[in-house]
Structure 1
Amino acid sequence: MTTTTHLHTVVLHWADLHEAAGQPSTIGGFGLGLRGYLARLNADADQLEYEGHQAAHLRTLERDPTQLGIRPTPVRLHILDTMAAIHADLLQCADAIAETVQRRPTAPPAPRRAAYARTRADRVAWEDHASRVQAAQDDAADRRRWRWTGTRPDAPYTALWLLGRVQGAPGPFRALTVSETDRIAAVARSTAGRVERALDIAAQRRTLERPCTCGGRIDVHGGEGRQPVAHCTGCGRIWAEGVIAA
């Protein structure tokens, strides 16, 4: 994928991250639900029964009228942490890039003492001075400029600003060097990967530390919204949520 694609991923899915942050965690996310399921395959039956009774007891408490009232909306802290990390990385990259590629505002002309324009030449000189003052003010206030002070831009705006630099959009900037382009590409790739993993929208493959009983490796495939599936590279056994196949 290109840097443009990665930055678009951050922009397009930022609202999805906000929505996901307010949703309760789901069972069966990549590697987590399955890893827990695999770990419980050999668990003691009495322990499982005890955990079942404990879960039933907790559900009874939830239905107890004394427990009713306003409940806070569940918040998925790991999503919020991911969003904060993405935002920080993008801001740090934009700060550094702007420091080197953004042209300083045009200096305004020296003030002129007030005087009555007696001739056409005087009027032309005053109009030229006023025009240069306005041009300097407009250049300093250019909305395309990156600002280091005040309210910091949000992640989507920052990603779009970096995208503008990659694509050579017009503004008070020079063209990127190869190293600057590579720096933005690395940050874009990293942040897009975090978005995809947080939302489970990218195909992934991992190898569990726990080997199969045959000694073979257990590879887990999942992501893209699919339930994870594990496969032993030794004996060929397949695990899925609630399913075991030889």
Structure 2
Amino acid sequence: MTTTTLHRIAELWPALNDALGAPTAPTWPPAGLRHYLAALEQHDAAEATALRALERNPDQIGARPVPVNLRVLDTMRAVEAALVDTADRIARSVQRTPMQPPAPARAAYARTRADRVYWEDRARRAEAARKDADDTRRWRHDTGRTAARAALWLSGRVEGCGGPFRPLSEAEQRHIDRVATGALGRIEAALDLADIRRELTAAHPCPCGGTIEVYGGAGALPVARCQGCGAIWSERGVVAA
């Protein structure tokens, strides 16, 4: 179960990156409710940013930052921080310290067979230490610190895959499961894959002036319904009016 959750996180991460960019302007009726909601959020954030800029200097000109979906951005930051921190903690606990190479020694000629055996053994140990330190299965604190890689690395530890690691304890297994479950829940909510029900703000009413409720996700077809006139829209168009 935990490995399935972790793999699902890695699979959905590119979708979060896609959802991070600014969506197109909202239309009515909405062609796609997830994109429509994201567009509304972006529109509100852009208006707030513009107002703050005008307050600073009405004549200010210059490049504006590319707008992003702040809800998705916050989700990505929180999930990545949680997964990377968990990988750091688990690695400190279960990852074996790399083998130490032989201490430096002055070069010497192999005059006897014993000398040759000694230097050949040193060379083998040095090469083994190098390979052990460079083992790509290790979790590193300098490179590859992404949410997707952390999820897959933790999945390997849960599955007990081979490598320079000891098996996880039950407490470590439970901790990874809690973090993975919470992370996937956040991602599914951000991508509208979870079951949601939400009222739009008064700034975005139905053409009749009524409040719109959006619900769907979790495999269901997203639907928007006006609580005033009762009109219903789905991604396929108007369902009822």
Task: Return the TM-score normalized by structure 2.
Answer: 0.67
Structure 2 unaligned spans of 5+: 39-62, 199-212
Distance in 2 (CA, whole Å) between partners of 1:71 and 1:203 is 35
Report the Cα offset of residue 239 of structure 1: 8.7
Asked if residue 189 in structure 1 is aligned to residue 181 in structure 2, the reply is: yes
Counterpart of 2:221, as a letter, is R
Counterpart of 2:128, as a letter, is A
Residues 1-246 of structure 1 aligned to structure 2 (within 5 Å):
2-24=1-23, 28=33, 74-148=67-141, 150-204=142-196, 222-223=216-217, 224=219, 226-228=221-223
SS in 2 for 1:222: strand
CA shift in 2, pair 1:152/1:169, >3 Å: same
Distance in 1 (CA, whole Å) between partners of 2:170 and 2:176 is 10
Distance in 2 (CA, whole Å) between partners of 1:121 and 1:71 is 72
CA shift in 2, pair 1:227/1:128, >3 Å: same
* Coordinate RMSD, CA, aligned: 3.2
Percent identity among equivalent residues? 51
Structure possessing the higher radius of gyration over alpha carbons:
1
Report the Cα offset of residue 24 of structure 1: 2.2
Residue deviations 1:34-55 (CA, integer Å, cap 9, x gap): xxxxxxxxxxxxxxxxxxxxxx
Distance in 2 (CA, whole Å) between partners of 1:156 and 1:192 is 12
Report the Cα offset of residue 244 of structure 1: 9.2
Distance in 2 (CA, whole Å) between partners of 1:183 and 1:240 is 43
Distance in 2 (CA, whole Å) between partners of 1:178 and 1:19 is 36
CA shift in 2, pair 1:168/1:23, >3 Å: same
Distance in 1 (CA, whole Å) between partners of 2:153 and 2:171 is 18
CA shift in 2, pair 1:159/1:179, >3 Å: same
Task: Work out the number of aligned pairs and report it.
Answer: 188
Distance in 1 (CA, whole Å) between partners of 2:223 and 2:193 is 13
Report the Cα offset of residue 221 of structure 1: 5.3
CA shift in 2, pair 1:159/1:228, >3 Å: same
CA shift in 2, pair 1:170/1:200, >3 Å: same
Counterpart of 1:147, as a letter, is R
Structure 1: 4+ residue segments shifted above 4 A: 25-29, 70-74, 238-245
Distance in 2 (CA, whole Å) between partners of 1:173 and 1:119 is 40
- Aligned twin of 1:40: none
Report the Cα offset of residue 78 of structure 1: 1.0
SS in 2 for 1:88: helix
Counterpart of 2:216, as a letter, is G
Structure 1 unaligned spans of 5+: 34-69, 207-218, 231-237
